Amino acid sequence: MTLDTEKVDRAVLALLYLGLHDGIRAWKGFDWESMNRLHEKGFISNPRGKTKSVVFTDDGLLEARRLLEELFSSSR
């Protein structure tokens, strides 16, 4: 099966928002390739390293919230 990585990245970014803590951090429990792509797109800090969370950029935080509502809101 071939996956649409753009759709995967959108879902991962939205789901990262569910783990939001300290206002800007999220636990990094998702596929490394997707996390690296989100970093390259400027939405999160570099996921490499020993820390167990990433920091959302300002744009990443806004986009994550928007995607969470778009993809998972029950008010459609």
Q: What one-letter code names the amino acid at 63?
A: E
Q: What is the reported pLDDT for 76?
A: 55
The string of pLDDT tens digits covering residues 19-39 is: 999 999 999 899 999 999 999
Mean pLDDT for the chain overall: 95
Q: What is the reported pLDDT for 75?
A: 73
Residue 3 CA to chain centroid, in angstroms?
A: 17
The string of pLDDT tens digits covering residues 47-64 is: 998 999 999 999 999 999
Cα-atom radius of gyration of the chain, to the nearest Å?
12
User: Helix (H, G, I), strand (E, B), or coil: what is residue 31?
Assistant: coil
The string of pLDDT tens digits covering residues 63-76 is: 999 999 999 998 75
E strands, 1-76, where?
Answer: 25-27, 53-55
